Amino acid sequence: MFENIKEGIVYKNLLNGEWIKSKSESTIDVHSPVNGDVIGKVQAMTKDEIDKTIENSKIAQKNWAEKPLNERAAVLHKCADLLEENISVLSDFLQKEIAKNKSSAISEVKRTASFIRFTADEAKHMEGETITGDNFPGFKKNKVSVVHRVPLGTVLAISPFNYPINLSVSKIAPALAAGNSVILKPPSQGSISALYVAELFNKAGIPKGVLNTVTGKGSEIGDYIVTHPGIDFINFTGSTEVGKHIAVIAGMVPMLMELGGKDAAIVLEDSDLRDAAKDIVAGAYIYSGQRCTAIKRVLAINDISDELAPLMLEEIKNLKVGMPEDDCEVTPLINNSAADFVQELIDDALKKGAKLLIGNKRKENLMYPTLLDNVTTDMRIAWEEPFGPVLPILRVQSVEEAIEIANKSQYGLQSSVFTKNIDYAFHVASKLEVGTVQINDKTERGPDHFPFLGVKASGMGTQGIRYSIEAMSRKKVIVLNIHEFS
């Protein structure tokens, strides 16, 4: 199935249906976070090759857009089937390349296949409308606006390391369904898993050039590709730092951005603390906290932390720490510098008086789950996104104070509110400046047909199957002026 995409451990790029090497003769080593081994090398593409790729994508898009929607949808269904048939290769590679534990890796692939199928079906319901002129004063019924949706052209999809398959496909599938061509720039760490998926799309019958890939370090080729005049839409998921940079330099190109988060769990005094502890721990530590939607701070009202913290500790002690193939929830972080950063935040909090309840233990890039109590707002961990398995508890005196601290963050992705009083939960939810509030559960993106969005530094635009298709298509209006007969 994958014989074309590599020579030995050197992976190529998909261009116009063929797998090719870069003329740069330069490659990027992809190291496994599990043991540091080089598990593959990907091409460092040149600017000239990026130009050719974009040119090819633009030509291919015209025919793809002409293809009847039901035929585009059928090809997407085939992609989903192939993904599922190759679940074992893909999930094994995810474990090696990004140290995602076995069951989460399998679920990433399954979820992605379901995502593609739902997208293919949803696209068939993206119907237009007709509007008659007489709704507006001074116009008559003979002016009829026929509104339908057309693709934007060539979509640049840039995905992050933590879901290299799902967060690549959640851009590719809606873009293709809408009739765009796609250039995928995968994360360097995660690129191989994404290239496998590109080959499955290729094998499923996505026409030549409709999906091309570009590999190379974001810091080297990123600015060039995002400012390229051939790009009609940028769909980016990654850090706020890079997202803001792209938004500044890219100019008048429409964008959909999902960025960082500092999701708060607000725990009220009347909540079921055992349930809350379970959800918070799962939300904070799964995949070592390397999720934009991980719970990244707990705001506990009054002294309920005295009860909540021991319940959380019980849950944390049940987490398995170790290697992805042993299906441990807490696995090595993506690299050593990510672990150094998490350590910095822990050290800063402890120096300033936070109480260590568990953790602060590290073996290279494997960080043990760490829980800090009595965290105060002068500590960096109260505000910064660790992207690692550390969770601060901030004790607050009132719900108002919890809301104030929650909203002071630069981020606005999601929040959780734990309480038995659903009416009050809605009140709190209405005050929180985030894209989504979860009542009595952990923060999370799925199910994938829900709208998913971040406000403030957490993103712009809305993703989610229908919303992504809408974002990557536009209205086309044709006005029919019907001759009136007296």
What residues does 452 pair with on adjacent strands?
463
Rounded Cα gap, residues 170 and 464, in angstroms: 8
Burial 436-457 (b: 16+ CB within 10 A, else e): bbbebbbbbbeebbbebbbebb
386 binds ligand NAP (CB under 6 A): no
| 3-state SS, residue 137 | coil
Residue 124 and residue 158: Cα distance in Å, rounded?
26
Is the Cβ of residue 163 or residue 467 nearer to ligand G3H in the bound state? 163
Please count the residues of this chain forming the interface with ligand G3H, following the rule CB under 6 A. Answer: 8
The region of 9-17, 51-59, 259-267, 390-398 touching ligand NAP under the rule CB under 6 A is: 259-267
- Going from the C-alpha of 205 to that of each of 18, 75, 439, 476, the distances in angstroms are 13, 6, 42, 28
Q: Which of 80, 158, 390, 425: binder of ligand NAP (CB under 6 A)?
A: 158
Is the CB of 250 or the CB of 309 nearer to ligand NAP? 250
Q: Which of 258, 329, 385, 470 is catalytic?
A: 258
Q: What is the dihedral of CA 57, 61, 64, 65, to 10 degrees?
A: 160
Site for ligand G3H in 430-449 (CB under 6 A): 444-446
C-alpha to C-alpha distance for 128 and 148, rounded to whole angstroms? 4
Read off the tokens for 134: 């007489």
Residues 155-174, one symbol each (x = binds ligand G3H by CB under 6 A, - = not), give -------xx-----------
**32, 154, 237, 271: which one binds ligand NAP (CB under 6 A):** 237
Residue among 234, 157, 178, 174 at smallest CA distance from 61: 178
> Which of ligand G3H, ligand NAP, none is residue 219 near (CB under 5 to 8 Å by kind)?
ligand NAP
Helix axes 166-177, 69-85, angle to 10 degrees: 160
Spell 145-182 as b/e; 16+ CB within 10 A means b: eeeebebbbbbbbbbbbbbbbbbbbbbbbbbbbbbbbb
Amino acid (one-letter) located at 26: S
Nearer to ligand NAP among residue 468 and residue 473 (C-beta): 468
Among ligand G3H, ligand NAP, none, what binds residue 242 when CB lies within 5 to 8 Å by partner kind? ligand NAP
Q: Binding partner of residue 446 among ligand G3H, ligand NAP, none, CB under 5 to 8 Å per kind?
A: ligand G3H
Active site residue 258: yes
Cβ proximity to ligand NAP, 28 vs 144, nearer residue:
28
Task: Tell the smallest beta-carbon distance from residue 147 to ligand NAP (Å).
Answer: 30
What's the closest the beta carbon of residue 159 comes to ligand G3H, in angstroms? 10
Do 216 and 26 meet the contact criterion of CB atoms below 8 Å apart?
Answer: no
- Among positions 32, 119, 154, 188, the unique one binding ligand NAP when judged by CB under 6 A: 188
387: left (phi over 0), alpha (psi -120 to 50) or beta: left
Burial of 301 (0-12, 13-18, 19+ CB in 10 A): buried
Alpha carbons 283 and 277: distance in angstroms, whole number: 10
What is the contact mask toward ligand G3H in residues 275 to 294, using x (rule: CB under 6 A)? ----------------xxx-
Residue 187, binding choice from ligand G3H, ligand NAP, none, Cβ under 5 to 8 Å by partner class: ligand NAP
Nearer to ligand NAP, 197 or 357 (CB): 197
d(CA 259, CA 413): 8
Q: Which among ligand G3H, ligand NAP, none contacts residue 366 (Cβ within 5 to 8 A by kind)?
A: none
Is residue 347 within 8 Å of 359, Cβ to Cβ?
A: no
Q: Which does 387 bind (CB under 5 to 8 A by kind): ligand G3H, ligand NAP, none?
A: ligand NAP
Residue appearing with tokens 């008048």: 252
Burial class (CB in 10 A: 0-12, 13-18, 19+), 253: middle
SS3 of residue 248 by DSSP: helix
Nearest CA to 435 out of 462, 410, 409, 417 is that of 462
Q: Which residues 22-51 are close enough to bind ligand NAP by CB under 6 A?
A: none
Residues from 286 through 345 that contact ligand NAP (CB under 6 A): 292
- Out of 135, 219, 430, 486, point to the residue binding ligand NAP (CB under 6 A): 219
Count of residues interacting with ligand NAP (CB under 6 A): 31
* Among 124, 140, 217, 244, interactor with ligand NAP by CB under 6 A: 217
Q: Please, which residue, 223 or 307, has the CB nearer to ligand NAP?
A: 223
Q: For residue 238, state whether it binds ligand NAP (rule: CB under 6 A).
A: yes
- Kindly list the residues in this chain that would bind ligand NAP in the complex (CB under 6 A): 158-162, 167, 185, 187-188, 217-219, 222-223, 226, 237-239, 242, 245-246, 258-261, 292, 385, 387, 413, 454, 459
- Kindly list the residues in this chain that would bind ligand G3H in the complex (CB under 6 A): 162-163, 291-293, 444-446
Active site members: 258
